[in-house]
Amino acid sequence: MIKNKKVEIFEGDRATNYDNFVRHFFPNYEFVMNSIPQLLKGILSSVTTPNILVVGCGTGNETKKIAAFNDEWKIDACDPSEEMIAIAKEKLAAYQNVSLHTCTVENLPTNKSYAAITLFLVLHFLSDDGEKEQLLQDIYNKLTIGGTFVLFDICGTQEELEQQYDILSHTFPYNWSREEKEMRKERILNVLNVISEDRLKFLSEKVGFTSIVKFHQSTISSAWILTKK
Ligand SMILES: C[S@@+](CC[C@H](N)C(=O)[O-])C[C@H]1O[C@@H](n2cnc3c(N)ncnc32)[C@H](O)[C@@H]1O
């Protein structure tokens, strides 16, 4: 496991329970995952054999959707957690168009440029003291001109998140206790580094993105397409 301040640790139960947890916590998770291949197909229609990079690929869910959709797409997927990568490796064993890397984006063992890069449910772990900006910059630098960055994350002001979380929590499984729901709310409001959409736009423009379009929102989580012009 690569451990440093910029890396949120996913190991043990957190890794093995991830696939089950994430679908309960984000009822829109499957919707976003299922939308991505079609979105990329449209956006990448003029690029022959595009390189695609999945940053913070975790257990390989978005990578599998993309890899299964078009075997001409060449995919690199990276994540610093050995345990998450081990699950992804098993899930993606049948896909010859995927290369997995146990690392963060700045340590990728390739100098490739990518027509599209995804970052799903990672940015909220990084602090807003330069780490988020650096990750966005690293992603921007790895995109080709005209390249597409697809971002999915928790986002909002404290007030928005509090109101949206209270609505979202009605959809959680019946066996989640009130304490667990409160603990998760506390994490979102006071422990994780969730930023507002205005702040996200500011950081994105600062690193060079000229276009940021939100195409989805469901309570606390949203998804955007950003373009490098
Ligand atoms: C909530 S999971 C998201 C996994 C996957 N993208 C998904 O949507 O299912 C967050 C992942 O980010 C990884 N991670 C933590 N710090 C990171 C960093 N600095 N850069 C890239 N990935 C990171 C973790 O190892 C974990 O697998």
Measure 79 CA to ligand 1 centroid, in angstroms: 6
The number of folded domains in the chain is 1
Residues 6+ away with beta carbon under 8 Å from 113: 51, 142, 143, 144, 147
Angstrom distance (rounded) from CA 13 to CA 29: 20
Which regions in the chain score pLDDT beneath 50? none
Residue 207: inside a domain, yes or no? yes
Q: For the whole model, what pTM was predicted? A: 0.97
Residue 129: inside a domain, yes or no? yes
Q: Which residue has a Cα nearest atom 10 of ligand 1?
A: 122
Show the tokens assigned to 167: 């609505």
Where do the DSSP E strands lie in 136-220? 143-154, 211-218
Q: Which residue has a Cα nearest atom 8 of ligand 1?
A: 120
Contact residues of ligand 1, CB 6 A cut-off: 6-8, 10, 22, 55-58, 61-62, 79-81, 84, 104, 120-122, 125-126
- Select from 8, 104, 138, 153 the residue to mutate for testing ligand 1; criterion: most ligand atoms less than 8 Å from CB: 8
Residue 119: inside a domain, yes or no? yes
DSSP codes, the chain: ---STT-----THHHHTHHHHHHHH-TTHHHHHHHHHHHHHHHTTTSSS-EEEEET-TTSHHHHHHHHH-TTSEEEEE-S-HHHHHHHHHHTTT-TTEEEESS-GGG-S----EEEEEEES-GGGS-TTTHHHHHHHHHHHHEEEEEEEEEEEE---HHHHHHHHHHHGGGS-TTS-HHHHHHHHHIIIIIS----HHHHHHHHHHHT--EEEEEEEETTEEEEEEE--
Note the pLDDT of residue 160.
98
Residue 4: inside a domain, yes or no? no
Q: Which residue has a Cα nearest atom 22 of ligand 1?
A: 56
Measure 80 CA to ligand 1 centroid, in angstroms: 8
Residue 6: inside a domain, yes or no? no
Residue 219: inside a domain, yes or no? yes
Q: Are 109 and 121 in contact (CB under 8 A)?
A: no
Residue 157: inside a domain, yes or no? yes
Mean pLDDT, the chain, rounded, equals 96
Q: What is the pLDDT of residues 74-116, one digit of tens each?
A: 999 999 999 999 999 999 999 999 999 999 999 999 999 999 9
Q: Which domain holds residue 51?
A: 13-227
Residue 33 CA: which ligand 1 atom is closest? 8
Measure 56 CA to ligand 1 centroid, in angstroms: 4
Q: Please, which residues bridge with residue 225 across strands?
A: 150, 213
Q: Which residue has a Cα nearest atom 20 of ligand 1?
A: 104
CATH code of the domain containing 106: 3.40.50.150
Residue 26: inside a domain, yes or no? yes
Note the pLDDT of residue 5.
64
